[in-house]
Structure 1
Amino acid sequence: MRTGLFIFLLSLGISSRAQTLPPIDYDSLFQRRMAGLSPVQRFEWTNKYVIFLNEHSRFAEARTLLRTSLRAAQQAHLTAWTARFYELSGYIEETNGNLVRSVDFFLKALAIYQATYAFEQQQQLCVHIIGVYSSLQNLDKRQEYNQQATTLQREYHQLSMLPFMYADKADDFVNAGKLDSALAYGRKAMTVLWVTRKWQQFYSYLDGYGVLLTDGGQYREAEKTFRQCLTYSLQQGDKRRELYEYIHLPEPLLHLGRLDEAAHYAKLALSRIELDPERQDEHRMQVYESLTHIAEARGQYKQALVYERLSNQYRNAVLSVEKNRQIAEVETRYQTAQKQARINQLSIDNQRQLTQISWQAVGLIALIALLGLALWQYRVIRQVNARLRTTSQVVSENNRQISQQSDRLGVLMQELHHRVKNNLAIVSSLMRMQSKRLDDPRAVQAVQDGQRRVEAISLIHQQFYQNENLADVPIKAYVTELTEGLLVGYGFDPDTFDCKVEVADIQLDVDVAVPLGLILNEVLTNAFKYAYANVTKPRLSVRLQPVTDGPATGLLIEVQDNGPGLEGSGRTDARLEGPGQTDTQLGGAIPAVSRRKGSFGQRLIRELTGQIGGEMSLTTRHGTYFRLWIPTPA
């Protein structure tokens, strides 16, 4: 019952979002966006398109595009993109069944991420390497990278890595035969993906969760899960995931006694097997197994025998392909070793020849010197003409460089914001590590508060490099991620916390976005820390709307919680009120807050409010109510 209720509530929250996402024609979109871009500017679209090609088994096109992009990234000395293209190459080979080649690419990418202190990417890549070594039955390497991923997660607490860690834990419980524990960790992984809005990964995990439900005999819940994934795949045009749902649906329907429906989906799966060409035999084996059980349930034993023979035929083909692949991998390693020995011998021969050539070059130098003297007069005449041609070429080259620099400026600005974000992430990690070494609780609290402020600024730079408009910040996405990140960070459950974020879809200049982000970080942090200690149903409302229909135009920000308010908070420094203060009106002075020196958080809010020319008020209205008015600059 609990599992069914969880899936039902989760489907209500996701379906409204997923239904609004129309399918994307990546082929035409990619060609259209790439037409007028420089090689460096194409990297982001190359990343998206390669993922699309991999999902549709178009491996040759993906490999060609990756080789071209990898050379461009290396020539431009963009280490982050070089590592990303190595990582994508590993995904292509893993999907294609070339596990040894895939792990080679992953290790190249991991080395770059370690050299650039990209901790989140290190954790994600370690998880994929663990999966490859599991498939290769290399338990020692699997344990080595599992320990590395666990250490990174414990030290840096990356939220994006939690689903992978939970999924790995669920796999361990499945192997141990503890299905209930595996289901529990599967729900945890999907909850994090739901909070972070990673819908593609969410539905991939949801499909695996349905398989676990089927194995556990929870057939009704499994059917609902697979149908939810099928709806999403049809809306997104994801043919491969649609095939997987057709393969998985017959099993729970068979146990529910709905044989006609089970047979219908099995036949749909057979008609779409070619959508996943690398695993056709494996899929046919699974479908014919399902058709065998359906025929047996109908009493059609002759037909069941036909299906069983087909299933065994494809099972033998799968085993044969796996053996051939293993033999090919051993042969590849042997040939590589032979080639390397040949290369070493050629290097020795080349060095010997270079020594001989060096002595011959000494004799040629003397001859060249005589020829140079004879040609000197001739060159003087040619130089005069060359200067004239050079002048014309310089003008043309300058015009060309100006055009190229204009194209590169956008990419360089994105790279700048990306690196600033990475540097701030390093600062945040260092502050987190420092706080663990402090004994004074007040010092620990001060360092942690500073860490959250750094993360608030880092989030703004992240919005910059993810946005095509490099001058402004999309404030809606920023405020939403900041609020939900703090909510999860302070240990609240998003399913039970009534958090309403109403933010206009507008762009703000960085001079306003950074102070505003820090102010919201302070106000929200105080709410999460002090407002809900004795509240059974916590609520939080965050509104940010432009005001254009009054005598004064500007931006209005309101934050309302349902805590005890100013008088009942017990922490006047944390709740920002001053002695005797009950309300500070907009448009007037801020006497109580301004006259009192207060805590660092208070001073920071006052300074930032004055910096952007804003006015704020703080009062009690069924909880603490914070209001900030930022007038439109003249």
Structure 2
Amino acid sequence: MMWRVAFCLLLLCGGLPQAARAEAPAVGRTESEQIQLLLGRDNAAALRRSRALVARAQHGPPAALAEGYWLLGCALRNQSRFDSSLYYGQRSLTLYSRLGQPTGMASAYTLLAQTYKRLADAQHVTKLTEQALNLATLAVAAGQQAQPPAVLSRAYVLQGIIYRDLKLYDSARVCYQRAMVVARRYPLLPSSLPVAYADYGQLLMEADHQPAAAIEWFRRAIPLYRREDNRNGLEHAYRNLSWAYQKLGDTAQAVATADSSLALGRASGDPHRLNNSLEVAYSAYRAAGRLAPALDLLAAWKESTDKLASADIVSAVTATRASYELEQQASRIGRLNRSNQQQRRLLWDLGVSLALVLGLLGLVLGQYWALRRSNRRLSASSRIIEANHTQLTAQSERLAVLLQEVHHRIKNNLATVAGLLRLQAARLTDPEALRAMRESQQRIEAISLLHQGLYQTSDVSTVDMRRYITDLTQSLWATHQTSKEIDLQLELATVHLDVEVAVPLGLLLNELVTNAFKHAFDQADTPRLRVAFGPDASGRLLLEVQDNGPGFNPAVQANNRFGRRLIPALAKQLAAQLSLSITDGTHYQLLLPCPT
């Protein structure tokens, strides 16, 4: 049995002594990358190198020390020294959090999650698995903030593994697929892509019961692992290949791949990995009917399982967490002490300042009595002013009510006039007279609508033009209803104008919109009317009325109708600039002076 294991290990290592290959420096790679690669093939060498890195970084930059703690935690995790692994992982996370480095934080969270996942595997405690999932979720969140987010692939792989342990297979599948996308776009060293391939194959085998499809994914992972000499990854791939071949009933391949997994597991120095490879080897030999080596492997597997499940591990982890919490508490106490010293210095400064203030207080008291006499005189004047203010406020409110009543009566009177015009128009037979009567009626109704808006609001001196233009346009639209659907576009800013400006502006708008409804849409397939009002770039108010009708000839129609003469007269009254464009319809623009 032992010669077979030794032969497989020698074959996988390429015939070179392990220590020589593991410790050989890699040209062009940082020390961190070299140690990460060592974690996949010689954990003992990785442990020595990471301890040396931590020792050198003690008086160096905090980022280098944080990275050393993380690498040391990874090496200790691979030796199932979970208490120490958690300790250094937490110290690494603390430093990276202070530095605000999401890449390092994601790596530290991933290490802590991996450690809790292995503890859960050894103890079969679901709470530990749930804690591992929480930490993996934090690793994903930190990895998403990293630029570039290369570490995100490791976090997604680990999150998928934990979801798989919790039987949440759909969530695991999504995580593996995301990990593949990130790993291809943002390569890491060592690569996360073969890990995602192998774990995805394991999901196909366990959840989907497709061992043949799973073998293809394991075979994809093996060349990538070999390229980086990642023996831990190879152990995982060969182990799952053996399980897949066992499910297919191919006992010869199952035993061969189990032997490869066992050789790599023995060489890794990782008790957790060795325990898994012993289990698969025992199962493969038993399935092949080779009971003698199967019994030896079963005994070795049970012994390994008992060591991993030791209660001392859990107590050590608990002690580590307590030690870390005490360290955090000591750090908080130190910060509080520094804060207390600052407060003592501040109190001393305040005492000195108070003495100076007391010296000035005597001078201030003399001024105080003088000011008090002045305040009494001012208070008497203030009471008189307040009484006058109250009287003026009451008068102002009464005037406002009177103005509202005036506007209400004006509106009612204008409505009466409009009604009389409507009755008179009903008796007319001359089309021109009837048209003139109806136009006059509409002009009166436009002014009446403005006064209606004034008495319905508390502000009786200015007109809300946005509301007024909307009501006036919709009123005219209802008056000139046609069989065609008109696209009415209102682009109105919130502007308030005095009544003296609002009345002529409302009459002018009434003429422009009425002309559009009467003359613009007979030949238009899809009638469109746009009314816009608001400040332009220079702060002046701009009124636009635009339709998509056939337009007209200003020279021919300038003086033949009263409305055509009324438009420029109202513009002159407003001191506004009136412009007309008859390209693609009729487009009036009225530019008013800046409002005061």
- Place the TM-score, normalised by the shorter chain, in its bin: 0.3 to 0.5
